[in-house]
Amino acid sequence: MMEEDFYATLKLKNGEEIFAKVLPNDDNENITLIITNPIVVSELKNRGTVSGYKIEPWLKTTSEDMFILSMSDILLVSENNDIEMIEMYQSYLRKYSIKTKSKESLSREMGYISSVTEAKKLLEKIYKNS
């Protein structure tokens, strides 16, 4: 039987709270969750009241968008049907995918590319001649 994915807030045993699209996976040995594009949501407060939310990727040093979590690492899974939260999540994903797709690789036409050693020599030459 194939499970369906859903939006959920996950509280991990290490204290992290993430929001993601979740797909349960039962492989007879243990239950895992496949999470897609997990994010962390922080409240922005101004004089004690919430003035907005900051959305960031859960892991900032990877370009992967799918992760597998063991239920032994999860304290709580709460299905989230909050339309505002889902819209913020989807809006973030649209902006994030545009940014990652528009990144170009560096080329000589964009500017001078050199090694650190070459750049150091050039800068020292400019400094000595000034």
Ordered per-residue pLDDT tens for the chain, 130 residues: 457 889 999 999 999 999 999 999 887 778 899 999 999 998 888 887 877 888 999 998 888 889 999 999 999 999 999 999 999 999 999 887 755 555 556 566 656 666 778 778 888 888 888 7
Confidence at residue 98, expressed as pLDDT on a 0 to 100 scale? 57
Q: Is 86 helix (H, G, I), strand (E, B) or coil?
A: helix
Confidence at residue 111, expressed as pLDDT on a 0 to 100 scale? 63
Q: Is 100 helix (H, G, I), strand (E, B) or coil?
A: helix
Q: How far apart are the first and last CA of the chain?
A: 75
What domains are defined for the chain?
6-129 (2.30.30.100)
Confidence at residue 1, expressed as pLDDT on a 0 to 100 scale? 46
Confidence at residue 103, expressed as pLDDT on a 0 to 100 scale? 54
Confidence at residue 113, expressed as pLDDT on a 0 to 100 scale? 64
